[in-house]
Chains A and B, each alone.
Chain A
């Protein structure tokens, strides 16, 4: 053997000594026996994924940060001093009043703490999802085997103690030993999340149609904005909880920010879809009143928001943009308006 490192020789083995108790998915151990070449590739992928990530993080200016911190400090100390004075005053007035006030403050602190904990948890889950999705995207481009073990563990951790856990475990159990990494991601995306996808889709459709109809029927134009905003926030919460993200105010806020950001900088494909839906809308609204047209617009906007939220909350990348949803939303709104016409 002149070049012993170049390839691995065939080996005969004793069938009785084999370890077949774990026939499927021995991912991490397989990864180690790949030739050096492959290993380096996987690392490359990880690096590029990280590199993609880095610029996304925003860097605030020093002055801005200082302003934020000082503002926070002033507010916190102000509120703290006021609270202390309140307590002091109530106790000097009457011990019972003091007890009552301190009880109220305790309750406030408790509920605030729970809220805070929830929103921190939600944010953590959201960033976890982001990480899983980035990994999954990298794996989709990767043709080799054995890189998916970490992803599976992350997914299982994300769905631990949720109703979806059983389904995920079942799907992972059914994974075939012959699948490569990208096939594993596609399989999971198809089979483990199909239920959640369907629910999220129904949810988005419902909210989109509702907000469209509400806007079309609302008598005050100034209410429209509020209505759409309210329905959208509710929808974001619901979509997030469908995909196993604890819904909280901060999650809602972060999601809304990202969704609007994505919508504002939508890619060409989405522009095309929007153009399509706009054309569709115009042909439909030609027969409707201007207010109905506004309703349709609001409904479509809500549907797009919902789709973006779904994409952000889904732990695995969404393969294709669901065009039919937008169409069915438009149809739903027009149908509902048609039904409600005689009532007007």
Chain B
């Protein structure tokens, strides 16, 4: 007689069964795990659409077959997923975004103003193997946050004092197009005596004009990215803070109550009370990072836009990498062990350009990628589209077949067909950034159905999932 039989004879069959169930439950609880996915991206890089689409596909992964390269879904091992966002104090507006994308005509979600959280519980069957001993099925909790991309711009400020920040900004404002756009504001700032006692009205005026200046720099035709403080860019949030862009830093002691002292105090307060809590609460505990980059925007706009976005991204990722006091670094290195750089809107170029898009993205993030490689972190570039808004088509032009895109324009909502140009694999020379060469227009989304999702609703979302989370399901 085995041990099981003996136990049963001692304490009765039912008890043993109960005990066994309880033990299995305990084992399961101890093995469920959490994965925090950092979705990083500047504003308008497609974070909200990405999260919406990802969650939508995952919620239907148990039967839709829309993720053929996501092993656990393709192998039919997902039992079901549940959206637990409602537990959070500010849940991600999934339904709202899905309704917008599912109605006729569909529209993109509005740009994000608030931080919101998604929590997804994915229940899956374990593959055959040793871990099956721990239980037939397990649960993975996937946490993602959505936030305005502008907030991210402030992260590099964490390691800069006011004087250093102003120095950085001064260097930025020495270059075009900032120099010419900001000329009147710069002249105004240079007139002020910073050692004099603070004049609230002047301060207010300068802050407001600086916020306006940032808005101008952000919009077309400049479309710059590295605009600090990021919260100045959001409507309704007037941060009374601006850098002192002076040819020379005002010498001497800083008298109490002077302009300089006030600005400095405001900078410290902004950094400590706004940026740091955001960082500590939401950005210091990630396992995997996804960096979304809109490369096409830079190709349309020119070299200044490219270098500015490059600088912004590298700055942000550096602040993940090497935090002051080592604490950011300590938190970063052991936790984020895999980073994926994704160029979004891959559906806005023809499919044969996806590889070039990867290469172009590598150009943009090469510094950050090198640093991460040095830290021993796995990185990869991928061209994705969270929601495919165009259709591949072919046309006969001058006797040869040309693959092109067919979709609806975002601004005028008319149907167009377009070959948008080739994505370069190295940085084009200054004369090459022309309308003649790149014409990546924005498309309106195609309808995303509530059910019956297809692989054709996205591009490489499944491979992204496999890369970011695949090892968790083994």
Contacts and interface: CB of A to CB of B under 8 A. Distances in A.
B440 to A, nearest CB: 8
Interface stretch (A22-30, A50-58, A119-127, A217-225): A22-30
Contact of A176 (B128, B355, B403, B456): B456
A63 interface: no
Interface string A164-177: 00000000001011
A23 B109 CA distance: 28
Interface string A204-216: 0000000000000
A169 to B, nearest CB: 16
A7 B415 contact: no
A11 interface: yes
Interface string A105-122: 000000000000000000
B416 A8 contact: no
Interface residues of B, number: 45
A180 interface: yes
A324 B129 contact: yes
Residue among A15, A24, A146 with max Cβ neighbours from chain B (10 Å): A15
A18 B422 contact: no
A160 interface: no
Contacts of B358: 143
A14 B415 CA distance: 9
A191 B455 CA distance: 13
A20 B420 CA distance: 18
A94 interface: no
A344 interface: no
A145 interface: yes
Given A18-B395, A19-B393, A178-B459, A32 B351 contact: no
Given A7-B437, A33-B402, 15 more contacts: A7-B422, A8-B422, A11-B395, A12-B417, A13-B397, A13-B417, A14-B417, A18-B417, A19-B395, A24-B392, A26-B403, A143-B355, A145-B351, A177-B456, A187-B69
Nearest to B397: A11
B459 A13 contact: no
B354 A324 contact: no
A114 B402 CA distance: 50
Contacts of B114: none
Contacts of A179: 351
A8 B392 contact: no
A180 B439 contact: no
Given A18-B404, A33-B403, A143-B355, A10 B393 contact: no
Which bracket fits the contact residues of A? 35 or more
Interface of A: 1, 7-15, 17-20, 22-24, 26, 29-30, 32-35, 143-146, 174, 176-180, 183, 186-187, 190-191, 324, 328
B392 A178 contact: yes
B401 interface: yes
Interface string B381-409: 00001001001111111001111101000
A10 B418 contact: yes
Contacts of B424: 7
A176 B419 contact: no
B438 interface: yes
B352 interface: yes
26 contacts: A8-B419, A9-B421, A9-B436, A10-B437, A11-B397, A11-B404, A12-B417, A13-B395, A13-B404, A19-B395, A19-B396, A20-B391, A23-B393, A32-B400, A33-B400, A33-B403, A35-B422, A146-B352, A174-B455, A176-B456, A176-B459, A178-B351, A180-B351, A190-B68, A324-B129, A328-B128
Contacts of B129: 324
A29 B394 contact: yes
Given A11-B397, A33-B402, A186 B351 contact: no
